[in-house]
Chain A
Amino acid sequence: MSTHPGPRARLAGGLLFWYAVLGGAFAWAVHLLAGWGVDELTCAAGSEHVAGLPLRVVVGAAVVLPALATVGALLAAALLWRRTAAAPHDGRDRSVGRSRMLAVVGIWSNLLFLTIIVLGGVALLVLPPCQR
């Protein structure tokens, strides 16, 4: 690395770091609240459509879009892990050590959340949305 990143690049890098670590968790939270909320409230109101769209499609979107966001977070975590493979010698070793550990956390965490979301998708394929 011959040049140091400017403030904008640092901000983007810092945000990308957090996306790598917590992106899957956040996407899963959205998936759960949207999927469960829409299913519960629509069925309670006695309907199987949301704003003209079939309930299955809407819940499906609440599965697919968060799943894609989680895959993105997983890739970001993998990138972070690769970038922190070498220990630097310029006094930033704590930042790199800290980032590498959290990259490991991010990779496995995003895999866990992806699994939960995919399992929810399987349920959607198998069960009718309002069956009690």
Chain B
Amino acid sequence: MSTTTAPASGASRDDLARLEEHWGERASVRAWFTTVDHKKIGRRYLVTAGLFFALAGLSALAMRTQLARPEARLLSPQEYNQLFTMHGTAMIFLFATPMLFGFGNFLVPLLIGSRDMAFPKLNALGYWVFLFAGLFMWASLPFGAAPNGGWFAYVPLTAEQNTPGLHLDVYSLGLLFLGIATTAGSINFIVTALKLRAPGMSLNRVPLFVWAIVATGFMVIFALPALNLDNAMLFLDRRFGTHFFDPGAGGNVLLWQHLFWIFGHPDVYIIVMPALGIVSAVLPAFTRRGVVGYPLIVLAIVSISIISFGVWVHHMFATGLPQLSYSFFSAASTIITIPSGIQIFAWLATMALGRLVVRVPLLFVIGFVVTFVLGGLTGTMFALTAFDQQVTDSYFVVAHFHYVLIGGAVFPMLAGIYYWLPKMTGRMYHEGLGRWAFWLVFTGMHVTFFPMHLYGLFGMPRRVYTYRSEAGWDGWNLVSTVGSYVLALGLLLVLAGVVHAVRRGRPAPPDPWGGDSLEWSTESPPKPYNFPVLPRVHSLHPTWDEPSRESMGAGARPDRVLAEGRRTLFTSELDGRRERAVEMPEASVQPLVLALAMLTFFTAMLFAWYPVAAVAAVAVAVTMAVWLWPPRRPAEQVGVSA
């Protein structure tokens, strides 16, 4: 159990001053554009993702208002199409994954006992690309040119002759642009977790959140190329007249669907996996024990990540493929529920065997369990081809995925926001306000989405801008709309609570919850260098175990203080044995410049200004060449005879 006072640091005042000098960034306009501090970058991801969440949420409120009554005339069909497309696309690509990458960016170096990510400048690049790609896509909406083919943009609807105009070029180019950030971030998480862990942190002592983020990174590495190829082919077909998806010339429309869902199904786990990692990270503090069955949760994380690549055809059960083909995917879709269930049972066991401390984060965790399990139940139903073929493209599907996504991603994020707010901002939130927010969000969510199971079964198709009264869906739709307003109010209270805490919240101690992981051994908020003394880790719960805590205090040694220079430690991949100290990059404007060059390229491609695009591509190459240019060193240091 950790103490409530600041951890006694084993570093001298001189050391602390030198660390501050090497790692500190004095606030200035220049610093704002050039920072490579993972904590600042992580917070920016959270805020920007929150902004895109608000935009996508307002789109949803507009849609729900339109659907409150039959044959309403608030929105035209064309406007409605753009709204549901942007709602889905932005929620998935511009909110869910970036928000979780934001948590990852802030937390991973802290959780593994390091001072930064493996590639700090690449980290900054990832943020700028995310911001620019998001603005690139949303900027189209006021011009009525937003993507309008649904978030999965099936051909032949999205082919040039059926949907002319820029809408789907914004979609394909925007996602290709964003993909650069997602890939860069994933590589960064993987390499950081492999090489920068504190000495002693062998793989069996790695926190579950880090396992989850690394597994997510691997899923991105293998899944994103399929989406990138799909979008590249779509752009080529639409803009340059290729025939990948054109059946009249040897192409195939199902090729789009296969490539899309080869990405798309792992993507839902890319979204949910880090969120489940948050649940594992939050529970110990509120159950006063480690999560039950650590190896089984690692098993679940690893096996779900892999099996998720073999289920994609379950999104295509209604496309007329051979039944034997369907069976392979139906088998995997059924079995993947086992590791998913293992995690839930492990968390339930942790709550049952531990001593519950009821605070807002725990409420959101419980809300997650209830909601996500319900979503998982309907998910198992979909694994059966025959059932799937009856409810495909109805509101039953809409109900299912909102249950798993809001339950499985949003609730854990909210738990994470309340849990780590003290660490990130140094302020505590107001518990009463937080509880009001929880109950409104929980109630609003279920009132909105539970009826969708029913009117989906009663036949209401998804993606329709209105409906006739005869079908009998009126009352249910109105209930959903009322629920959506309650949900929006709850989320507004979350935002109000965060803003209030940042301005007027009680100052938070380093470890307000008595947490088990290493971030609770730092200040709130952490110093720029995270740890005055890098820890030597002896167990899975380093802030709870005496030898690990002592390694940062009385047992500190200069070779883990590393105050001369801007340095952190590299350790071995599997067993966390110390290798060497390494100098880390300082603030730089290169990531911003590179991101701007990329933005120029994609904008030029969108508007068919190809010479501009060519120049921008050269600018990208030159910026990268400068960024990676080797430093000049004296002959003996570099290792040649002078």
Binding site for B on A (CB under 8 A): 25, 28-29, 32, 35-36, 39-40, 43, 59, 94-95, 97-98, 100-102, 104-105, 108-109, 112, 115-116, 119-120, 123-124, 127-132
Instruction: List the 7 closest pairs (A to B, CB-CB), nearest first.
Output: A123-B327, A119-B331, A101-B204, A94-B202, A104-B295, A98-B202, A105-B299
CB-defined interface of B332-355 with A at 8 Å, one 1/0 digit per residue?
Answer: 101100110000000000000000
B299 engages A104 (CB within 8 Å): yes
- CA–CA, A32 and B330, complex, Å: 12
- CA–CA, A65 and B279, complex, Å: 39
- Name the one of A28, A39, A127, A128 contacting B310, with C-beta atoms under 8 angstroms: A28
Report A77 CB to chain B, min CB distance, Å: 11
B307 engages A94 (CB within 8 Å): no
B54 at the interface (CB under 8 A from A): no
B328 engages A127 (CB within 8 Å): no
A112 engages B204 (CB within 8 Å): no
11 contacts between A and B (CB under 8 A): A29-B306, A39-B325, A40-B322, A43-B325, A94-B577, A98-B575, A105-B302, A108-B303, A112-B303, A112-B339, A127-B323
B203 engages A98 (CB within 8 Å): yes
A36 engages B328 (CB within 8 Å): yes
Q: What number of residue pairs across chains A and B have CB atoms under 8 A from each other?
A: 103
B320 at the interface (CB under 8 A from A): yes
- CA–CA, A67 and B160, complex, Å: 45
CB-defined interface of B261-305 with A at 8 Å, one 1/0 digit per residue?
Answer: 000000000000000000000000000000000111011001100
Q: A39-B325, A40-B325, A94-B202 are in contact. Are A120 and B302 (CB under 8 A)?
A: no
Q: Give the interface size class of chain B.
A: 35 or more
The A interface is mostly helix, strand or loop, or mixed, namely: helix
Enumerate chain B residues within 8 angstroms of A131, measured Cβ to Cβ.
322-324
- CA–CA, A115 and B339, complex, Å: 13
B575 engages A94 (CB within 8 Å): yes
Q: A95-B575, A124-B324, A129-B324 are in contact. Are A29 and B310 (CB under 8 A)?
A: yes
- CA–CA, A27 and B607, complex, Å: 46
Binding site for A on B (CB under 8 A): 200, 202-205, 294-296, 298-299, 302-303, 306-307, 309-310, 313, 320-325, 327-332, 334-335, 338-339, 574-577
A109 engages B302 (CB within 8 Å): yes
A120 engages B298 (CB within 8 Å): no
B332 engages A32 (CB within 8 Å): yes
Report A107 CB to chain B, min CB distance, Å: 9
- CA–CA, A36 and B203, complex, Å: 35
* In the complex, residue of chain A having the shortest beta-carbon distance to the beta carbon of B298: A105
- CA–CA, A105 and B298, complex, Å: 7
Enumerate chain A residues within 8 angstroms of B299, measured Cβ to Cβ.
104-105, 108-109
Enumerate chain B residues within 8 angstroms of A43, measured Cβ to Cβ.
322, 325
Given contacts A120-B327, A123-B328, 9 further A-B contacts (CB under 8 A): A36-B329, A43-B322, A97-B202, A101-B298, A105-B299, A108-B296, A119-B335, A129-B324, A131-B324
Question: By CB atoms of chain B within 10 A, which of A29, A119, A128 has the most?
Answer: A119
Enumerate chain A residues within 8 angstroms of B323, measured Cβ to Cβ.
127, 131-132
Q: A101-B203, A104-B295, A108-B299 are in contact. Are A115 and B335 (CB under 8 A)?
A: yes
- CA–CA, A115 and B334, complex, Å: 10
Enumerate chain A residues within 8 angstroms of B335, measured Cβ to Cβ.
112, 115-116, 119
* In the complex, residue of chain B having the shortest beta-carbon distance to the beta carbon of A28: B310
Question: By CB atoms of chain B within 10 A, which of A40, A94, A95, A127 has the most?
Answer: A94
- Name the one of A32, A40, A94, A127 contacting B200, with C-beta atoms under 8 angstroms: A94
Enumerate chain B residues within 8 angstroms of A59, measured Cβ to Cβ.
324
Enumerate chain A residues within 8 angstroms of B325, measured Cβ to Cβ.
36, 39-40, 43
Enumerate chain B residues within 8 angstroms of A101, measured Cβ to Cβ.
203-204, 294-295, 298
* In the complex, residue of chain B having the shortest beta-carbon distance to the beta carbon of A55: B324
* In the complex, residue of chain B having the shortest beta-carbon distance to the beta carbon of A128: B324
Enumerate chain B residues within 8 angstroms of A128, measured Cβ to Cβ.
324
B303 engages A127 (CB within 8 Å): no
Question: By CB atoms of chain B within 10 A, which of A102, A105, A120 has the most?
Answer: A105
B327 engages A109 (CB within 8 Å): no
- CA–CA, A132 and B322, complex, Å: 4
* In the complex, residue of chain B having the shortest beta-carbon distance to the beta carbon of A92: B575
Report A17 CB to chain B, min CB distance, Å: 9
Question: By CB atoms of chain A within 10 A, which of B204, B303, B325, B338 has the most?
Answer: B325
Enumerate chain B residues within 8 angstroms of A39, measured Cβ to Cβ.
322, 324-325
- CA–CA, A98 and B200, complex, Å: 11
Enumerate chain A residues within 8 angstroms of B204, measured Cβ to Cβ.
94, 97-98, 100-102
Enumerate chain A residues within 8 angstroms of B576, measured Cβ to Cβ.
94
- Name the one of A94, A105, A116 contacting B331, with C-beta atoms under 8 angstroms: A116
